A and B are shown apart, each in its own frame.
Chain A
Amino acid sequence: MLEIRDLHASVEGQAILNGVDLSVGPGEVHAVMGPNGSGKSTLSYVLSGREGYAVDRGEVLYDGRDLLELEPEERAAAGLFLAFQYPVEIPGVGTMTFLRTALNALRRGRGENELDAMQFLRVVRQKARALGIGDDMLKRALNVGFSGGEKKRNEMLQLAILEPRLAILDETDSGLDIDALKVVAEGVNALRSPDRAMLIITHYQRLLDHIVPDRVHVLAKGRILRSGGSELALELEEKGYGEIMGEAA
């Protein structure tokens, strides 16, 4: 489903990714772990098409298509979703207006009918309840005045509503207390399905206690240094990145 081959990327002339190879199949959940500055967020932004990230070499295929030549909204239409590490506050844009505009844009792209206000409300209410999101939060401007945890839950709500085929979760656990973490993990687990893949980007192992990955990759200095099963996350937690990176080097 997702094939990353020898991906080199830079920001403002500084090389951040130095040859990433990664392959994720349908239904699989992969974790990318790494210390600060290893290139984790850069990887998520390159995949989602943020401006300012130059791809210097390599390719990314999504269902066999060249992902990198698509605009961000085309990637979303193709089923890609990035849950942001730092969701953006947008004053003046209502959360509901935003969710509906996004869902209907995707539905149009898939040749489905747009939902009217009532149909949409039903969909959102049901999914919001499962994530512990109340109506008061939905009535506010997008992410404005949301706590860190509320912002992350709002990302998960978007994930649940937009139903992407490939979800990238960038440091979704940061800013969450243990109860919120469980709620979010349950939400993510409920979305696991044979045709939906997930890439979970995280510094810490604790999210992976709740969302058990099929594969774990260690990203450091812009490359995947080691890959393994879910037990690799536990090993990392025990030994720390230093030792793993030392071994690999």
Chain B
Amino acid sequence: MTPQVSLPGVEAYREAFESIRASLPGERGAAFEAFAARGFPTNRVEAWKYTSLRPLARQRFRPAAPDMEAAVPFLGDGPRIVLVNGFLREDLTTVPVGRWGGPNGRAGAEEEPLVALNAAMAGDGYALTIGDVRDEPIEIVHATVPGPTGPVAQSRNRITVEPGGAAHVVERHVGLGSGAYFVNGVTEIEVQDGGRLRHTKLQEEGAEAHHLWFVPARLGRDAVLESTVFTFGARLSRNQIEADIPGEGAELSLRGAYAVSGRQLADHTSRIEHRAPGATSRQVYKGAIGGQARGVFQGHIIVAEGAQKTDGHQLNRALLLSGRAEIDAKPVLEIYADDVQCSHGATAGDIDGDALFYLRSRGIPADAARGLLVRAFLSEILEDTPEGALRTAVEERIDGFLEAGA
């Protein structure tokens, strides 16, 4: 292979990689070369057309070191798993978990250069196996301590739900203090035959953070995966889910709500491959975008030959709260079976003027009326989140977004 030294970020990360290579479990050379062959994607790469990582590639980041001291805030008192800077904090973790021991990721996942970079450099990660029915939600905190050199935290995590297992897992991403950092993480999800997983992600990274998270998921026969993401933080974030559905009758639901302002960019990208008959997938993403912020939604549904009776729908709606807010939406349906029901829809617009006037005419001040309407717009994604710490945290984030005058 011809070395392509000019690829974005490769040289700096090679240096960083070599500096920690000896301390990492497993053999990492192949994973790093898979990254080095492509570098950070820029918007010349179709899958990254709307979210260029070129500026990120120019920044110098040093691999984040374990931090065994930092205090970490929790949502609740239930069972939890805590990682700081991408390393498991056993002292704060109350659920029995395994650790990641080196690259053995699913075939195909490494095609993404950032996933390859994660496979090369991740030092740790949890491996959670659910074999029974867990009533209490499991809170997983991914905390990162910003630093003067902008640490890069990379963890590789895995959730496996065995047949008969059921759980609700809440992954929460926070920055501990202000400053720049870069999070490049992976959570692999496997829901085996008949298993059920509810997966909620609450992204509250710091204002100067870059957050890239990749979720390769696999659903067995009659498996159920309901994954909801709430995105509020980070200067730039991308939540990318690639769901492989080889299981007949599986049910996948992907939902997202985000509220961004200033110069934030929030990217939600999904790719769902229906490979077996009779499975369903539902996607609803809703975003409130203020300031000069940008939203990106890319939804790709593939229905393979033979995946008859597939029922796949996706909807992306954006509320543009300022004249300079933007949304880029790219839905793709790729269908190779003839007896399927698939659809996609996208809307983008300002707050409904008629609704706003109606509320104001009843004495509700303009700002409060806008707030009511933005909350109402996002509430669809929150409606199945029960009262409790998680819901309160999301509502407080939305309130904060509105109070900041997005």
A109 close to B (CB within 8 Å):
yes
Kindly list chain A residues whose C-beta atoms are within 8 Å of the C-beta of B380. 91-92
Q: Is the CB of B376 within 8 A of A102?
A: no
Q: Is A222 an interface residue (CB 8 A)?
A: no
Q: A50 interface residue, CB < 8 Å from B?
A: yes
Question: How many angstroms between the C-alpha atoms of A50 and B364 in the bound complex?
Answer: 14
Chain B residues with CB under 8 Å of A97's CB are 372
The residues of B that contact A146 with a CB separation of less than 8 Å are none
Query: What are the residues of chain B within 8 A of A32 when measuring CB–CB?
Result: none
Among A84, A91, A92, A105, point to the contact of B363 (Cβ < 8 A): A105
- A81 to B361 Cα, complex, angstroms: 7
> Which residue of B357, B362, B366, B379 is within 8 Å of A92 (Cβ)?
B379
Cross-interface CB contact of B364 among A88, A92, A102, cutoff 8 Å: A102
CB-based contact B373/A93 at 8 Å: yes
Interfacial chain A residues near B364, Cβ < 8 Å = 73, 101-102, 105
Which A residues are CB-close (under 8 A) to B361? 48-50, 72-73, 75-76, 81-82, 84
Max chain B Cβ within 10 angstroms of own Cβ: one of A49, A73, A77, A84: A73
CB-CB nearest 9 A-B residue pairs: A92-B376, A76-B363, A102-B362, A72-B360, A88-B358, A106-B363, A105-B363, A92-B379, A93-B376
Determine if A92 and B360 form an interchain contact, defined as CB atoms under 8 angstroms apart. Answer: no
Total B residues in contact with A, Cβ cutoff 8 Å: 23
Q: Least Cβ distance of B8 to chain A in Å?
A: 42
Partner of A162, one of B354, B360, B362: B362
Cβ-based interface call for B68 (8 A): no
24 contacts between A and B (CB under 8 A): A48-B361, A49-B361, A51-B353, A71-B360, A72-B357, A72-B360, A73-B369, A81-B361, A88-B355, A88-B358, A90-B359, A90-B373, A92-B375, A92-B377, A93-B372, A98-B359, A98-B362, A98-B372, A101-B364, A102-B362, A105-B365, A109-B363, A158-B362, A162-B363
B357 touches A90 (CB 8 A): no
Residues of A within 8 A of B358 (CB): 84, 87-88, 90
- Interface residues, chain B, CB within 8 Å of chain A? 352-355, 357-366, 368-369, 372-373, 375-377, 379-380
Contacts of B379 in A (CB 8 A): 92
Residues of B within 8 A of A84 (CB): 358, 361
* Cβ–Cβ < 8 Å partners of A48 in chain B: 361
| Number of A positions contacting B (CB below 8 A) | 29
Instruction: Determine how close the nearest CB of chain A comes to the CB of B54; give it in whole angstroms.
Output: 38
B353 closest partner in A (C-beta): A51
Question: What residue in chain A is nearest B369 (Cβ atoms)?
Answer: A73
Expressed in whole angstroms, the Cα–Cα distance for A54 and B148 within the complex equals 56
CA distance A106 to B373 in the complex (A): 19
CA distance A77 to B362 in the complex (A): 8
CB distance from A102 to the nearest CB of B (A): 4
Which A residues lie within 8 Å of B359 (CB)?
90, 98, 102
Known contacts A92-B377, A102-B359; can you find 5 more A-B pairs with CB under 8 A? A49-B361, A51-B353, A72-B357, A92-B379, A102-B363
